[in-house]
């Protein structure tokens, strides 16, 4: 049946509600890109999400429409998701500081203790 609408444009389009066209095939929506946004000069680009695009040029255009709609952006990067190499959360422990690497932390250097002890010795 042809759709009759309150909106004259829809009625004029003569849409058949039995139509089966429009069904998506895999990759119809292209592949995904990750979007990085820089809010102001001097700050890091930060990952803000992803989108679908056929190529990098259009990905930048879509990134502007989807992630930078109300200003607060001076620069955008897009990277194909498949080009991003990531660590796994399961391996989160690789980032932990182990006790034997304490020499890399500022607070393990207790010079004042040594200075105090030295001064005390001088005065005796």
Residues that bind other proteins (CB under 8 A): 3, 5-7, 9-10, 13, 15-17, 19, 21-32, 34, 47-52, 54-55, 58, 62, 65-67, 69-70, 80-82, 84, 86, 88-89
Smallest distance from the beta carbon of 121 to other proteins, in angstroms? 49
- Alpha-carbon torsion angle 38, 39, 40, 42, nearest 10: -50
The rounded distance, in Å, linking the Cα atoms of 105 and 53 is 45
Q: Would you say 16 or 109 has its CB closer to other proteins?
A: 16
Question: Phi first, then psi: what are they for 37, rounded to 5°?
Answer: -120, 135
C-alpha angle with apex 53: 48 to 59, nearest 5 degrees?
Answer: 55
Q: Would you say 31 or 102 has its CB closer to other proteins?
A: 31
Q: Would you say 38 or 50 has its CB closer to other proteins?
A: 50
């Amino acid at each position: 049946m042809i759709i009759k609408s309150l909106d004259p444009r829809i009625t004029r389009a003569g849409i058949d509600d039995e139509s089966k066209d429009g069904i998506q095939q895999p990759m119809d929506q292209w592949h995904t890109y990750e979007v990085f946004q820089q809010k102001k000069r001097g700050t890091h680009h930060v990952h803000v999400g992803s989108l679908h695009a056929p190529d990098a040029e259009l990905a930048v255009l879509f990134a502007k429409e989807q992630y930078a709609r109300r200003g607060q952006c001076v620069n955008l990067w897009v990277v194909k998701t498949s080009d991003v190499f990531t660590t796994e959360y399961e391996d989160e422990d690789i980032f932990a500081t182990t006790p034997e690497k304490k020499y890399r932390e500022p607070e393990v250097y207790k010079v004042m203790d040594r200075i105090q002890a030295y001064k005390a010795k001088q005065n005796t």
